[in-house]
Amino acid sequence: MGDVNASRRAALGLVVLAVASPALVACGSPGDLAAYREEASTSVAGATSNLATIQLALQEWAGGRSPSPATSVLVGDADTAMSGVVDGFAALDPPEPRADSVRARVLPVLDRAEQAAASGRIALSRNDVDAAKQATQQMSSVLDDLDATAVTLR
Amino acid sequence: MKRLFAVALGILTAIGGFVDIGDLVTNALVGARFGMSLAWVVLVGVVGICVFAEMSGRVAAVSGRATFDLVRERLGPRAGLLNLVGSMAVTFLTLTAEIGGVALALELATSVSHLLWVPVVGVAVWLVLWRVKFAVLENVFGLAGLALVVFAVALWKLGPDWGGLASAAMHPSVPVTEDWAVYAYYAVALFGAAMTPYEVFFFSSGGIEEHWTPRELGTMRANVFIGFPLGGLLSLSIAAVAATVLLPRGIEVETLGQVALPVVVAGGKLALAFALLGFFAATFGAACETGLSVGYSIAQYFGWQWGKFVEPLRAARFHVVVVLSCIAAVGILLTTVDPVMVTEYSVVFSAIALPLTYLPILVVANDRTYMGRHVNGWLANSLGTVYLVLVVVASVAAIPLMVITGAGQ
Amino acid sequence: MTPATGGWEVDADRFGVVLRLLDHQIVGEQGQLLGNVDDLALEETPEGLFVVGFLSGPAALGGRLGGWGGRLLGDAWRRLRTEPEPRQLVVPLERVVRLDSAVRVDTRAGRILAQEQRLELWLRRHVLARIPGAMGGESDPDRPDRPDLRPADGIGVPLRDGQHTVSELLALRALTSDGGALGEVIEVTAERVGGREHGHGDGLGPLRVLDVICSPRHLGQELGYTLTPQGPRLVRWLLRACHRSDRHLHLGDVAEIDWERGELRAGEYAVLRHPHDVD
CB contact (8 A) between residue B258 and residue A72: no
Whole-number Cα distances in Å, B176 to A37, A90, B180, B251, B406: 18, 28, 9, 17, 19
Using the Cα atoms of residue B231, residue B236, residue B239 and residue B245 in order, give the sign of their dihedral: negative
Question: Mind spelling out the 3-state secondary structure of B256-314?
Answer: HHHHHHHHHHHHHHHHHHHHHHHHHHHHHHHHHHHHHHHHHHHHHHHCCCCCCCCCHHH
Quote the distance between the C-alpha of residue A116 and its chain's center.
15
Interface test with C, best of B65, B85, B133, B313 (most C CBs within 10 A): B313
All residues of chain B having their beta carbon less than 8 Å from the beta carbon of residue C137 are 311
Domain count for chain B: 1
Which chains sit next to A, with 3 or more Cβ pairs under 8 A? B
User: Which among C26, C36, C39, C38 has a CA at the least distance from the CA of C102?
Assistant: C26
| CB nearest to C127's CB, from B320, B362, B367 | B320
* Buried-exposed string C29-45: b where 16+ CB fall within 10 A, e elsewhere: bebbbbbbbbbbbbbee
One DSSP character per residue, A126-142 reads: TT-HHHHHHHHHHHHHH
Domain count for chain A: 1
| CB nearest to B249's CB, from A52, A69, A72 | A52
| CB nearest to B111's CB, from A52, A60, A73 | A73
CATH number at residue A110: 1.20.120
pLDDT single digits (tens) B44-95? 999 999 999 999 999 999 999 999 999 999 999 999 999 999 999 999 999 9
Distance CA B120, CA B99 (A): 10
Average pLDDT taken over every residue of chain A: 84
Q: Residue B110 contacts by C-beta under 8 Å, 6 or more apart in sequence?
A: A69
CB contact (8 A) between residue B108 and residue A70: yes
Distance CA A65, CA A58 (A): 10
| CB nearest to A52's CB, from B107, B110, B250 | B250
Give domain status of residue A133, yes or no: yes
Look up the domain containing B157 and give its range: 2-405
| CB nearest to C136's CB, from B63, B304, B311 | B311
Encode chain C (279 residues) as per-residue pLDDT tens digits.
334 444 456 665 788 999 999 999 999 998 899 999 999 999 988 888 999 999 998 889 998 988 888 888 888 888 877 777 777 888 999 889 988 889 999 988 898 898 888 888 889 888 888 888 877 544 344 444 443 444 444 455 677 777 899 999 998 999 998 888 999 999 999 998 865 555 555 678 889 999 999 999 888 778 888 888 777 888 888 888 888 889 999 998 998 899 989 999 999 888 888 988 886
CATH number at residue B27: 1.10.4160.10
All residues of chain A having their beta carbon less than 8 Å from the beta carbon of residue B158 are none
CB B32 within 8 A of CB B356: no
Report the CATH architecture of C15-158.
Roll (2.30)
Phi, psi of B139 (to 5 degrees): -70, -45
User: Which among B339, C135, C195, B268 has a CA at the least distance from the CA of A67?
Assistant: B268
Partner A contacted by B406 (CB < 8 A): no
User: Which among C249, C246, C242 has a CA at the least distance from the CA of C189?
Assistant: C249
CB contact (8 A) between residue A74 and residue B258: yes
What residue in C sits closest to B60 (Cα-Cα)? C4
Q: List, in sequence order, the alpha helices (H) in chain C.
A: 17-20, 58-65, 67-79, 107-116, 118-126, 166-170, 233-242
Interface test with C, best of B296, B302, B308, B361 (most C CBs within 10 A): B302
pLDDT single digits (tens) B304-350? 999 988 888 889 999 999 999 999 999 999 999 999 999 999 999 99
User: Which among B320, B291, B289 has a CA at the least distance from the CA of B304?
Assistant: B320
| CB nearest to B75's CB, from C100, C127, C222 | C222
State how far residue A15 is from chain B, nearest Cα, in angstroms. Answer: 23
Q: List, in sequence order, the alpha helices (H) in A27-128.
A: 31-62, 68-90, 97-125
Quote the distance between the C-alpha of residue C2 and its chain's center.
22
B16 band by pLDDT with thresholds 50, 70 and 90: confident
Q: Residue B216 contacts by C-beta under 8 Å, 6 or more apart in sequence?
A: B61, B207, B210
User: Greater confidence, B169 or A24?
Assistant: B169
pLDDT single digits (tens) A4-14? 444 445 444 44
CB contact (8 A) between residue C4 and residue B74: no
CB B97 within 8 A of CB B339: yes
CB B216 within 8 A of CB B69: no
Whole-number Cα distances in Å, B224 to B11, B61, B229, B373, B386: 8, 14, 8, 20, 19
Report ipTM (2 d.p.).
0.90
User: Greater confidence, B294 or A16?
Assistant: B294
Phi, psi of B309 (to 5 degrees): -80, -5
For chain C, the structural domain boundaries read 15-158, 167-277
User: Which among C102, C136, C93, C90 has a CA at the least distance from the CA of C29?
Assistant: C102
Look up the domain containing A47 and give its range: 32-153
Partner C contacted by B302 (CB < 8 A): yes
A positions 97-136 inside 8 Å of B (CB)? none
All residues of chain C having their beta carbon less than 8 Å from the beta carbon of residue B384 are 232
